[in-house]
Chains A and B, each alone.
Chain A
């Protein structure tokens, strides 16, 4: 131990150690870890639902190409699941090491969703090996398909329950928060409350669409690339089916995301007005005519360098009253006894990331609108090379937008890790609290987090490219003829089973 300490002291100079702000370091490391981890998660979720749809279509349409697609993708899913498991374990450890005070409070109040998440994960973990490794052992193919549903449900429930915790961080409940703020003691615990906080519904709705969009965009981009490169007709047939599934899903999802995004912003306006105001660069409240600031930054706590769209924000927030309704402002929300507390303003960058997210969402919406119009004009847009190449670009945009949206939501909570349960903060013993726990209070300030952080950077820097390389390689070397043979056998097996069922052999009868 002393030797390790000596090496550590020798390698990392005092000036470096002194210049580290450990809460910032912890936050940066965790942001880095999650942004990598959610890519694995979204892709796993996208793969799981694509496999379910593909196998369903294979059995329904008796189409071996869909079956071969499901078989091919299931191998990739195993890879992402395996790396995701290890990455999830790293994250769980990281939570304890980097955020001890936060995890202690979570353990005392809101661990319930995490605990349910583990069982969802187990559902996925037990169903997936059966689905993949015993693929050929199922005589009843619908039973096999049922396992893919278990995998899809397991992956979705895992994401759902983790989002419940996130919602709890935004609008905490389930314990006596004023008492906690005054004394630091946790009392009056209601462990069921964190399952449903005021922000849970809106967050869950938007999260579901967002992660599936990104996951499907991954798949779409990959299969378009493969489709354009493939020479083998069978391979093209499989790729085309994947493109069809992903496109249909994404068209429905982009509409869904537009609606749920709007619901999410309206919910924020009511229950997290500080975050909402920072996202929209609103300094003072208005009841009508709030403009939309397109991009721009805060200079001396005032917006600058933005494009003004008059009335737009009010109209979007209150379409049914033609823009008449209350829009909050940062200054009065963070002013107490005549003093404005600028330190509780979220970083203004979230305004730009929000604009990027919405802007890209609109652009993707236009792309899919074009595809739909072309489809109804019987032009088969998904055979057009230019449309497909644009599809790859929009797929990349979809993945970026999901990360961007997540960043906006999380950074919008800064400087708090757990916000106030009351919109605009609460007063306890004459002190105004804008949050329940700050990042600084939650973070570990032990010097050990620095080398751990370095190890985590190294871990993901190595493992992440390797994972995608692995998955790509597995898909690339997957033998199309063998996959199709499996697909053909599955369809045949199911038909034979159905025939047996319809025409049972009655032994003993003549």
Chain B
């Protein structure tokens, strides 16, 4: 029987939490290149900061939700994950802290400082977020593939990853580079940086997205091949869903849908969910021992409690996010795209 038909509901919730976290964080990574290259342009800056400044806190909280939900669902596996991936997590957390501090300083403190101004601080924020992105993609590649990883579920502290082996695998670089290209393609749409009035502006996001998708698909397939993938065909879903965004953006009538932020985030969440489901029920495929998720899942009593808390908490979370969307609607998520402002007619004659 296909393992997806018997997937535990808590595991499914965890997968959706991971997908939400990755999707939300991706939107920040998408802002990196535009911020570094286009910060001087007021319209680019405004578009980026309107979204990034309130959302960075929510993204940070998703990291904590993910950590605790992992402990909830697969407690037996968590110490091994910690030991195998500690260096990557350590760098990630260091730059998380850096990013949090810098964005606050940029916003509230240093506006006209002699050495640091907002621009420089947002550059540092971008670089920190970029490094976090690299670490996150490395973690994804490591968990999916298990290259260079030695897992011990009895004596946790003897688990480790040989990073020389891990980083010698071309597919790891493929996933990182492909994702970065893909993010940059989507970012042109998400932040509405690409001018739809020009052919280049319409086509460029699509080209970048297609290149990114090709590299990503191949790399991810290689990385997950050790997981005895039985649902490899599911990769078509994220590919199609991701392609929808630049295709919709090309047409004037549908541009606003493509750049509607909740729409993009939801498509991302669904896509990443299917990427994860593709490798289920295994992770760490190329390590010394494949981890069979149902084997490390928590006891049935705890699963019941997790289910109840997840349902109540999940509904609560969705309601809060809807309210967040409602409040921020006039700032970051306009349904109708900004139209060209025509020069106002002079109604009064100056004397």
A126 to B324, CA, bound (A): 7
Tell me whether A89 and B299 are in contact in the complex, defined as CB-CB below 8 angstroms, given that A83-B100, A448-B157 are known contacts. no
Q: Mark B149-176, 1 if CB is under 8 A from A, else 0.
A: 0000000111011111100000000000
B81-98 CB contacts (< 8 Å) to partner A:
81-83, 86, 89-90, 93-94, 96-97
Q: Is B227 an interface residue (CB 8 A)?
A: no
Assess the B302–A92 pair: CB atoms within 8 A: no
> How many of B's residues come within 8 Å of A, CB to CB?
65
Tell me if A82 and B302 are in contact (CB < 8 A).
no
Is B331 part of the binding interface, using a Cβ–Cβ cutoff of 8 Å? yes
B236 at the interface (CB under 8 A from A): no
A114-133 interface mask toward B, CB cutoff 8 Å, 1 = contact, 0 = none? Answer: 11111101110111111001
Q: Which residue of B lies closest to A105 (CB)?
A: B75
A125 touches B86 (CB 8 A): no
A118 lies within 8 A of B69 (CB): yes
Q: Given the complex of chains A and B, what is the CA–CA distance between A88 and B64 in angstroms?
A: 8
In the complex, the answer to whether A111 meets B302 with C-beta atoms within 8 Å is yes
Chain B nearest CB from A117 CB (Å) reads: 7
Question: Could you list some 16 contacts between A and B, CB below 8 A?
Answer: A1-B160, A1-B162, A81-B57, A82-B103, A85-B100, A87-B97, A97-B86, A100-B79, A106-B71, A111-B72, A114-B68, A114-B71, A115-B305, A118-B313, A119-B309, A137-B330
When C-beta atoms are compared, the residue in chain A nearest to B165 turns out to be A1
Residue from the list A109, A455, A473 in contact with B90, Cβ < 8 A: A455
| A133, A191, A448, A463: the one within 8 Å of B304 (CB) | A191
Q: For chain A residues 462-476, which have a beta carbon within 8 Å of chain B? A: 463, 466-467, 470, 473-474
State the Cβ distance, A423 to closest chain B Cβ, in Å: 26
Which residue in chain B gives the minimum CB-CB distance to A88?
Answer: B64
Shortest C-beta distance, B178 to chain A (Å), equals: 26
CB of A119 within 8 A of CB of B317, answer yes
Q: Are A130 and B64 in contact (CB under 8 A)?
A: no
Q: Is the CB of A191 within 8 A of B68?
A: no
Q: Do residues B101 and A470 form an inter-chain contact, with CB atoms below 8 A?
A: yes
Interface residues of chain A, those whose CB is within 8 Å of chain B, are 1-2, 4, 75, 78-79, 81-83, 85-90, 92-93, 96-97, 100, 103-104, 106-109, 111-112, 114-119, 121-123, 125-130, 133-134, 137-138, 186, 189-192, 444-446, 448, 452, 455, 459, 463, 466-467, 470, 473-474, 477
Are A89 and B64 in touch, CB under 8 angstroms? yes
The SS class assigned to the B binding surface is helix
Given A86-B93, A115-B306, A129 and B157 touching (CB < 8 A)?
Answer: no
CA distance A92 to B89 in the complex (A): 11
Instruction: Check if B96 sits within 8 Å of A103, measured CB to CB.
Output: no
B288 CB within 8 Å of chain A: no
| Given contact pairs A85-B60, A119-B309, A134-B54, a sample of 20 additional A-B residue pairs in the complex whose CB atoms are under 8 Å apart | A1-B160, A86-B97, A89-B96, A93-B67, A93-B86, A93-B93, A97-B83, A103-B79, A104-B75, A111-B71, A111-B298, A117-B68, A125-B60, A126-B320, A126-B321, A186-B299, A190-B301, A446-B157, A448-B83, A474-B108
B63 within 8 A of A: yes
B109 contacts A by Cβ under 8 Å: yes
Most chain B Cβ neighbours within 10 Å, of A96, A109, A114, A138: A96
Chain B residues positioned under 8 Å from A477 (CB to CB): 109
Evaluate contact between A121 and B301: CB separation under 8 angstroms.
no
B27 to chain A minimum Cβ distance, whole angstroms, is 15
CB distance from A136 to the nearest CB of B (A): 11
Q: Given A122-B320, A134-B327, A474-B108, does the pair A191, B305 have CB atoms closer than 8 Å?
A: yes
Closest to B97 in A: A86
Contact indicator A130/B324 (Cβ below 8 Å): yes
What is the bound-complex CA distance between A93 and B67, given in angstroms?
A: 8
Task: Please state if B57 and A125 are interface contacts (CB–CB under 8 Å).
Answer: yes
A115 CA / B304 CA spacing, docked (Å): 13
- B53 close to chain A: CB less than 8 A: yes
A90: chain B residues at CB < 8 Å are 93
When C-beta atoms are compared, the residue in chain A nearest to B330 turns out to be: A137
Shortest C-beta distance, A9 to chain B (Å), equals 15
Within 8 Å of chain A (Cβ to Cβ): is B55?
yes
Q: Is B104 located at the chain interface by the 8 A CB criterion?
A: yes
Tell whether A122 pairs with B317 under 8 Å between CB atoms, given A446-B83, A477-B109.
yes
Min CB gap A112→B, angstroms: 5
Q: Hey, which chain A residues are within 8 Å of B78, CB to CB?
A: 96, 103-104, 107
